[in-house]
Amino acid sequence: MTEKNRRDVLKSTAVATAATFAAPAIVRGRNLNDKIRVAIVGMGGRARAHAESLVELENESDVGVEFAGVCDCDEAKRKSAELVWSQKSGHAIKTYDDMRRVLDDKNIDAITFATPNHWHSLNAIWGCQAGKDVYVEKPGSHNIFEGRKMVEAARKYDRIVQHGTQCRSSPNIIEGITKLHEGVIGEVYFARGIAYKIRGNLGQHAPRPVPDGLDWDAWCGPAPVHEFSNFQHRRWHWIWDYGNGEIGNQGVHQMDILRWGLKLDDHPVQVSSVGTNYMQEKVHQSSAETPGVLSTSLKWANGQMVEFEVRDWYTNAEAGFRDTYPFVQKDFPVGAIFLGSEGTMIIPDYSSFYTFLGRKREPGPSAFEEGSPISNLPHFRNWAMAVRSRRREDLTAEIEQGHKSSALCHLANIAYRVDRTVQFDPHKEQILGDDQAAALLTRPEREGYAVPQEV
């Protein structure tokens, strides 16, 4: 897809979304012909993509967004964010040292959350309860119980909640999934996802005093408060209490594409997962807890099956090579692969798809952009336009879809941790006949930060 065509698709999508409402919507007493005032909570690495998108949306008059505030419990990050984004946006950005101050601010209409995984569901629930619309990073939950409560909160308080699986808003990937559903590779019988990222030595837990200006208790929030170290603070993806390993970090994107492509709108009934943390434990002597190599099989009641594999060190690629396709990397380390009765489709990044037909793998329909950019802007634009329309069906990654895709990652981790196949009731969201595995559907509550049974 050319850049001009891509812009035309994005523009037409925005116009179509805007056309879904005829009169100004009212949220929290504010007329949404006014600017939608948005604050970002959590100013770590992922927040940059949020802020860049908000700054770009400020220049789009049909969207009407104002980047209004930043919040972090780390003073250094908060001050840096205020300085950087005030300069880039061209206006003052308000700062908050506590998320609850954002929730209480009636001048804030919507919040994007770029916090660690262990905070995501409670972030979204509190945001909905405060009457804010929400964009929450992936995975939307730390565990399956909290993910369901997040969906319940969105419904109860009638909030527009977008999940941060931005491939859902990529014009090229939308085109690819549409063709897949139209039968471009025939009947799809199997799908596979990969997340192959070289992670290196993730380091060791070496306790030290909490740095000045960091509220460590607030950072831990609904998770246990461990003794502070740089490892705990920066490598949280690889710690069970704070993160969900590579399958929850990167793999949720590909899991989401696999569900989307296979039209799997329910949970699987059986999950097996085996893995090892060999490189981190034996070679690097790292304190990382989550598996660096993980092989997962998921089966649905209708007979559909998905495989997913994580690798954290040197490996072959499965989703393509630069010699064949115009990827930015020699071997792109992630991908979703669909196998059908007439051919195959690969979605090897965040903005392209390729098909290969018949025994000779003749090239079929494809769409790509040179460099395979990771564009977040369409996803944030889609969210902002849905905030205006007040129609959650306008969202490309509405939070229930995010919950279902995140749940696949959680089930994979549960099966790995108990080291056996788990049977899952997709309607009750319960593990059958295995108390040890069922206990991992949630986590112990922490006073002041508990995800409520009744949202």
Condensed to tens digits (0 to 9), the pLDDT of residues 407-427 reads 999 999 999 999 999 999 999
* 400 backbone dihedrals φ, ψ, rounded to 5°: -65, -35
- Using pLDDT thresholds of 50, 70 and 90, give the confidence band for residue 2: very low
More confident residue, 100 or 27: 100
Mean pLDDT of the chain: 91
What mean pLDDT is predicted for residues 127-133?
A: 98
Alpha-carbon distance of 103 to 155, in angstroms, equals: 18
Alpha-carbon distance of 137 to 140, in angstroms, equals: 6
Alpha-carbon distance of 87 to 72, in angstroms, equals: 18
Alpha-carbon distance of 250 to 353, in angstroms, equals: 18
> Residue 361: is its pLDDT beyond 60?
yes
pLDDT at residue 102 in the model: 98
Domain ranges in the chain are 3-168+376-397, 171-372+404-441
> Residue 25: is its pLDDT beyond 50?
no
Q: Of 411, 305, 326, nearest to 368 (Cα)?
A: 326
**Whether 389 contacts 21, CB under 8 Å:** yes
pLDDT at residue 103 in the model: 98
DSSP 8-state secondary structure symbol assigned to residue 331? B
pLDDT tens digits along 179-227: 999 999 999 999 999 999 999 999 999 999 999 999 999 999 999 999 9
* 3-class state of residue 316 by DSSP: coil
> Residue 10: is its pLDDT beyond 90?
no
Least confident of 1-15, 297-311, 345-359: 1-15
DSSP, residue by residue, 18-54:
HTT-SS--EETTEETTS-EEEEEE--STTHHHHHHHH
CA 249 distance to own-chain centroid: 8
Percent of the chain predicted with pLDDT > 70: 89
CB atoms within 10 A of CB 36: 23
Residue type, 447: E
Reading the block at residue 107, the tokens are 């001048």
> Residue 154: is its pLDDT beyond 80?
yes
pLDDT at residue 427 in the model: 98
User: Tell me, which fold does domain 3-168+376-397 have in CATH?
Assistant: Rossmann fold (3.40.50)
pLDDT tens digits along 322-350: 445 554 344 568 999 999 999 999 999 89
> Residue 259: is its pLDDT beyond 90?
yes
**Whether 390 contacts 21, CB under 8 Å:** yes
* 153 backbone dihedrals φ, ψ, rounded to 5°: -65, -40
DSSP 8-state secondary structure symbol assigned to residue 283? I
What mean pLDDT is predicted for residues 2-28?
A: 39
Q: Of 71, 77, 135, 73, nearest to 102 (Cα)?
A: 71
Phi-psi region of 447 (alpha: psi -120 to 50; beta: other; left: phi over 0): beta
Highest mean pLDDT among 53-62, 311-320, 326-335: 53-62
Which residues have a Cβ under 8 Å from the Cβ of 249 and sit 6 or more positions away?
Answer: 117, 237, 243
Distance set, CA 83 to CA 6, 19, 58, 98, 105 (Å): 33, 37, 18, 18, 21
CATH superfamily, domain 171-372+404-441, is Dihydrodipicolinate Reductase; domain 2 (3.30.360.10)
What mean pLDDT is predicted for residues 44-58?
A: 96
> Residue 28: is its pLDDT beyond 50?
no
- Using pLDDT thresholds of 50, 70 and 90, give the confidence band for residue 27: very low
Q: Of 11, 262, 243, 280, nearest to 138 (Cα)?
A: 243
pLDDT at residue 332 in the model: 62
DSSP 8-state secondary structure symbol assigned to residue 294? E
> Residue 86: is its pLDDT beyond 90?
yes
- Using pLDDT thresholds of 50, 70 and 90, give the confidence band for residue 317: confident
pLDDT at residue 34 in the model: 87
pLDDT tens digits along 233-254: 999 999 999 999 999 999 999 9
DSSP, residue by residue, 381-410:
HHHHHHHHHT-GGG-SSBHHHHHHHHHHHH
pLDDT at residue 318 in the model: 82
**Whether 281 contacts 312, CB under 8 Å:** no
> Residue 1: is its pLDDT beyond 60?
no
pLDDT at residue 316 in the model: 84
pLDDT at residue 24 in the model: 33
Alpha-carbon distance of 96 to 223, in angstroms, equals: 22
Alpha-carbon distance of 347 to 334, in angstroms, equals: 9
pLDDT at residue 8 in the model: 46
∠ CA 431-337-165, nearest 5°, is 65
pLDDT at residue 184 in the model: 98
**Whether 26 contacts 32, CB under 8 Å:** yes
Alpha-carbon distance of 307 to 272, in angstroms, equals: 10
pLDDT at residue 320 in the model: 62
Alpha-carbon distance of 264 to 191, in angstroms, equals: 12
Least confident of 117-126, 179-188, 324-333, 364-373: 324-333
Residue with tokens 């993910």: 147
